[in-house]
Amino acid sequence: MSSSILIYSEKRSNRLTYIGNYVFGVRCGLDVTFTNEPSDLDSADCPVLNYSFDASLDGIQFRPAKLLFEKRPTLQEIDVDSSGEIPLLFADSNSKFGHDPLAAAFYLLSRYEEYLPFVQDEHNRFLSTSSILSKYNAIEIPLVDIYIERIRNEIKVKYERISLSPETFRDEVTVDVDQLLMYRSKGLARTLFGLLADLVRNPKKIQERVSVLVGQSKDPLEVYDEIISKCASKKIRPIFFFQVGETSRYDLNNPVHIPNVKQRINEIALDSDMGLHPSYFSSEDDGQVDLEFERLQSVSNSRIIRSRQHYLRYRLPGTLRHLEELGMTHEHSVGFADANGFRAGTSHPFPFFDLERDESGTLMLHPFVFMDMCAVRNSEGSEIALKSLINLRQTVRKYGGVFSSVWHPEVLIGMHGSIRTWDLFNHIIEENEV
């Protein structure tokens, strides 16, 4: 039996093509063909998905919700069956699965709810409390991955000879470099201002600052070699996202024109992948993103194809469209700023779908599951934070996903809160299987 699948529906749509190719192509490893001719099912020598209400047709039947045949984001009345172990979005009691898993997966992956009005925080962000996942206590449940696992199992049962590609768990370590160094390479004006600020606010820090500036001590944020070394010991290639925008209330990065900064960025990039960390206000100014992209590109010895937005601030679909225009192919901002878990219901990368244009983009979105800042803000102590990390990682492992974690040098060394997150970082490294 060939490793392909034929998907039948009465109507064609870009949404169905997108989610069909993702679920059965990307996640199951099958060649996907679509048809709206019932007669094609009779001669098919491969698995068939009957995406219609006609139960007389051959194949696995999903009774379709209307979502995949619409063309614009509109307010949705979503029936949810929350009586079982997990909530079933787009519930249908007459369906074998109890709902339409393709519509449910599309709703979460397309970030449909973020195109609709929602309550923003002070940074204009979509928080976990605004998500349908929060309403059904499913922030820490990878609903899309569970839906797809059930689909995979159904294919295996009905078509025993079919071979599906395996989904293998792996760790992904990413680091947001909001400021490369705390004291060094800040420029003369900022260095003098820092000394004056210490004198007024915290005189005890003056000795530490001066010791670093005269070369007697290592800068507190110089943890990059340690991160790289720990990752290399388990064959993990970390990804560093560098801030190179202008200084602001929310942007404290080192000026990239300083030779030491250029040199250090390229030293770090020798044993890691590099990405852009667009500055706080860039989400409102495409021109600023252009400037920062060119700035980092001029410093780098390789093409910049990755990004993660500072403060996770981005606009849908505008920010992602513009990143595509710049030639970016990987975006890593899909995750909550206020909670660890599954913003899009998955730990697997997935392609961007532009709901306003009703088309699939070229950008791959890489969701992260765990961020150290969330652990510090939401945990009462390191033991609680570690337990959360362990539980999330075990969940990702169960469904063969990517446990993508976000780390900040300032948080690793304990600048923001009582928790020093090196212990959490080390757990991932120690538990990683080579």
% residues pLDDT > 90 (the chain): 76
Give the confidence band of 381 by pLDDT, cuts at 50, 70, 90.
low
| CA distance linking residue 406 with residue 341, whole number of Å | 12
Of 2-6, 77-81, 338-342, the least confident: 2-6
| CA distance linking residue 149 with residue 14, whole number of Å | 23
Mean pLDDT on 284-300: 94
Among candidate residues 298, 319, 302, the one with its CA nearest the CA of residue 126: 319
Tell me 90's DSSP state: S
Mean pLDDT on 207-223: 79
Within its chain, how far is the Cα of 268 from the centroid? 22
| CA distance linking residue 205 with residue 395, whole number of Å | 42
% residues pLDDT > 70 (the chain): 93
pLDDT of residue 189: 61
Output the average pLDDT for the chain. Answer: 92
Q: Report the amino acid identity of residue 90.
A: F
For the cut 60, the answer to whether the pLDDT of residue 33 exceeds it is yes
pLDDT digits (tens, 9 = 90+) for 156-189: 999 988 889 999 999 999 999 999 988 776 766 6
- For residues 337 and 374, is the Cβ–Cβ distance under 8 A? yes
- For residues 365 and 402, is the Cβ–Cβ distance under 8 A? no
For the cut 80, the answer to whether the pLDDT of residue 225 exceeds it is yes
- The structure's pTM equals 0.94
- Phi and psi dihedrals of 95, rounded to 5? -90, 145
- DSSP three-state, residue 23: helix
Burial track 269-301 (b if 16+ CB lie within 10 A, e otherwise): beebebbbbbbbbbbeebebbebbbebbeebbe
Q: H or E element: which one contains 50?
A: strand 48-50
DSSP secondary structure letters along 269-331 = HTTSEEEE---GGGGG-HHHHHHHHHHHHHH-SS---EE--GGG---TTHHHHHHHHTT--EE
Please state, in angstroms and as integers, the Cα–Cα distance from residue 273 to each residue in 137, 172, 173, 374, following that order.
35, 11, 10, 24
For the cut 90, the answer to whether the pLDDT of residue 398 exceeds it is yes
The angle formed by the CA atoms of residues 373, 375 and 381, to the nearest 5 degrees, is: 125
| CA distance linking residue 80 with residue 135, whole number of Å | 11
* Long-range interactions of 376-379: CB distance < 8 A, separation 24+: 376/411, 376/416, 376/417, 376/419, 376/421, 377/338, 377/417, 378/338, 378/339, 378/340, 379/419
Mean pLDDT on 215-244: 93
In the block, residue with structure tokens 């929310």:
250
pLDDT of residue 42: 86
For the cut 60, the answer to whether the pLDDT of residue 195 exceeds it is no
pLDDT of residue 213: 73
Mean pLDDT on 89-117: 97
pLDDT of residue 193: 59
Give the confidence band of 417 by pLDDT, cuts at 50, 70, 90.
low
For the cut 70, the answer to whether the pLDDT of residue 431 exceeds it is yes
In the block, residue with structure tokens 């252009």:
290
Question: What are the tokens at 98?
Answer: 């109890």
Mean pLDDT on 210-232: 87
The CATH number of 170-431 is 3.20.20.370
- Bond before 349 cis per omega within 30 degrees: no
Does 421 or 238 have the greater pLDDT score? Answer: 238
Among candidate residues 297, 283, 308, the one with its CA nearest the CA of residue 366: 308
pLDDT digits (tens, 9 = 90+) for 114-156: 999 999 999 999 999 999 999 999 999 999 999 999 999 999 9
Mean pLDDT on 80-105: 96
For the chain, give percent helix, strand, coil, nearest 5.
Answer: 40, 15, 45
β-sheet bridge partners, residue 32: 5
Mean pLDDT on 209-230: 85
Cα dihedral across residues 351, 355, 359, 362: positive or negative: negative
| CA distance linking residue 323 with residue 288, whole number of Å | 12
Among candidate residues 299, 222, 297, 213, the one with its CA nearest the CA of residue 263: 299
| CA distance linking residue 256 with residue 300, whole number of Å | 11
Neighbours of 244 (CB within 10 A): 27
Domain boundaries, the chain: 4-65+73-158, 170-431
